[in-house]
Amino acid sequence: MESINVLKGYGKLNSAEAQTPHHHRAAKRPLILAVTVSSIVLLTITLGLLIGALVRESSTEGSEAQSLRSSSAQSIRAVCSVTQHQDSCFTSISSLNSSVEPDPEAIFELSLRVCVNEVSNGSLFVRDLVKSSNDARSKGALGDCAGLLEDAASRLRDSVAAMEAAGPGEKALTELKISNIQTWVSAAMTDQETCLDGLEEMGSTVLEMVRDRLSRSREFMSNSLAICAQMSAVLEKFEMGMH
Ligand SMILES: *[C@@H]1O[C@H](CO)[C@@H](O)[C@H](O)[C@H]1NC(C)=O
Ligand SMILES: *[C@@H]1O[C@H](CO)[C@@H](O)[C@H](O)[C@H]1NC(C)=O
């Protein structure tokens, strides 16, 4: 039954077509063909562009990490980008070793060395003040301060040592080390603040001078802490994993 109906319908269509003027019928078919072909072409182009964009994106992502890993300066900038004081981070690390291996862990270790140098130099500065001070109260507070800064420097040295303790072929950083280093650097920052609080309580006349002298080391420690806290994100930027 159905096929007969279809045939009937076909016949109807045919007769309807037959009634339309000849040139109309000739124009309609190429139109449908053109619409179909151009739809297919459009779809192909769209798909091609989409795939092209995806390929391009993944290849630029790859080359971004690659270029980070091929330049010391770029890699130091990338690591320092997670800190609050990006300029002091970049300058201090690259003045310590401008051709450091472009590896986030090596750069982080250098940032800790920057802290060691600055804090131990600060402690020497305060020791000198103790010697030259002739006010007994201030002398006591300065002595305590120098002791605190020496403790801080030794915590920072421990942090560097923890990174060096990796065996051959072993990566320096583990979650545990990161957590320890964070604790030690935070404690070193607290030591330094306690030093300044002590001088302030004693009404020391050299308070502002010491505060100025230690402002750089506070910045450097804050930089190291920021890098440490965001080490996973930094490693991702380099397309490297935590070990
Ligand atoms: C800088 O670091 C690279 C590798 O990280 C090392 O080979 C080079 O000896 C270092 N230079 C200085 C001056 O420490
Ligand atoms: C330590 O500080 C003095 C100034 O107090 C400076 O001349 C010297 O270069 C500093 N040393 C380091 C290693 O930063």
Report, as an integer, the average pLDDT of 219-231. 96
Quick one: pLDDT at residue 65?
Answer: 78
For residues 39 and 152, the model is more confident at 152
List, for residues 200-214, the tens digit of each pLDDT value: 999 888 999 999 999
Tell me, using a 6 A CB cutoff, whether residue 127 lines ligand 2: no
Which CATH code, of 3.40.50.300, 1.20.140.40, 3.40.309.10, 1.10.1060.10, is assigned to 72-237? Answer: 1.20.140.40
Please answer whether residues 152 and 224 qualify as being in contact, where contact means their C-beta atoms are separated by less than 8 angstroms: no
* Cβ of 125 less than 6 Å from ligand 2: yes
List pLDDT tens digits, range 153-168.
999 999 999 988 766 6
Instruction: Give pLDDT, residue 66.
Output: 80
Helix (H) or strand (E) holding 187: helix 175-201
- For residue 96, the CA-to-ligand 1 centroid distance in Å is 9
Per the CB < 8 A criterion, the answer to whether 68 and 238 are in contact is yes
What's the rounded Cα separation, in Å, for the pair 182 and 34?
A: 68
Rounded to the nearest whole angstrom, what is the distance from the C-alpha of residue 122 to the centroid of ligand 2?
A: 8
The answer on pLDDT for 10 being more than 70 is no
| Cβ of 240 less than 6 Å from ligand 1 | no
Task: From the CA of 99, give the closest atom in ligand 1.
Answer: 1
Confidence of residue 16 (pLDDT cuts 50, 70, 90): very low
Expressed in angstroms and rounded, the spacing between residue 120 Cα and the centre of ligand 2 is 10
Mutate to test the pocket of ligand 2, among 93, 115, 116, 121 (most ligand atoms within 8 A of CB): 121
Read off the pTM. Answer: 0.74
Position 138 scores a pLDDT of 86
Copy the structure tokens of residue 102. 């472009």
Taking CA atoms only, the protein residue closest to ligand 2 atom 3 is 121
Measured between alpha carbons, how far is 65 from 236 in angstroms, rounded to an integer? 9
